[in-house]
Amino acid sequence: MNLNFDFMQKYLPWYLEAAVLTVKIAFFGILLSLLVGVVCSVVQYYRIPVIRRIISVYIEISRNTPLLVQLFFLYFGLPKIGIVWSAEVCAIVGLAFLGGSYMSESIRSGLESVEKSQIESAASLGMSKLLTMKEVIFPQALAVSVPGVCANVIFLITETSVVSGIALADLMYVTKDLIGLYYVTDEALIMLVVFYLIILLPISIIASFIERRLRYAGFGN
């Protein structure tokens, strides 16, 4: 396979710019998905009526529809009722909508792993539900949830490749554009893989390190 390194060097700035956009969308989308996940998991944990039902419906819709369909609804559907967002905002909201359901399930499993005896002990000491959640339940739940949350983070970063469907110049968009214009399939795909590895490998290494530390500390067993 003879690679055109001159071509790769020429269009490297395109990939750098696309990588920055990809990381930006992933960062804000994951941040929002964590927020949504925490709220949804707490509501489900305490079995709050009505809201719990709404969240269950949201989770089913989110996990059983493709991200691309969700993005099309946000970008092309909402303007029909007067709600117009930029492609970047749609990508972040879509990623948060999808990721929130996955984060919710991971965090909820962590909340439910905390032994009831600890909660009862906290109540006997006069701690309120809010204080018990803050000081007793959530720290332990977070430790147990870390592997699932880290896996979801990596999953959501890879899902950013779909945002090219709403004309955002992310890594996938640039790759498809160059292949379509110059038929440089090998070079474009190699650069795509390299940039995704640059983004994902550090996150994967950090996640593995955190999981090992928690395991040595006695959590997640």
The 10s digit of each residue's pLDDT in 135-148 is 888 888 887 888 88
Which positions ≥6 away from 211 have C-beta within 8 Å?
Answer: 146, 147, 150, 220
Domains, the chain, ordered by start = 11-216 (1.10.3720.10)
The 10s digit of each residue's pLDDT in 177-197 is 999 988 888 999 999 999 999
Burial class of residue 113 in the structure, from the number of CB atoms within 10 Å of its CB (0-12 exposed, 13-18 middle, 19+ buried)? middle
Using the predicted structure, report yes or no on whether residue 165 has a pLDDT greater than 60.
yes
Tokens of 149: 């949350």
Predicted model pTM? 0.87
CA dihedral sign, ordered 141, 113, 159, 94: negative
The 10s digit of each residue's pLDDT in 90-139 is 999 999 999 999 999 999 888 888 888 888 888 888 888 888 888 888 88
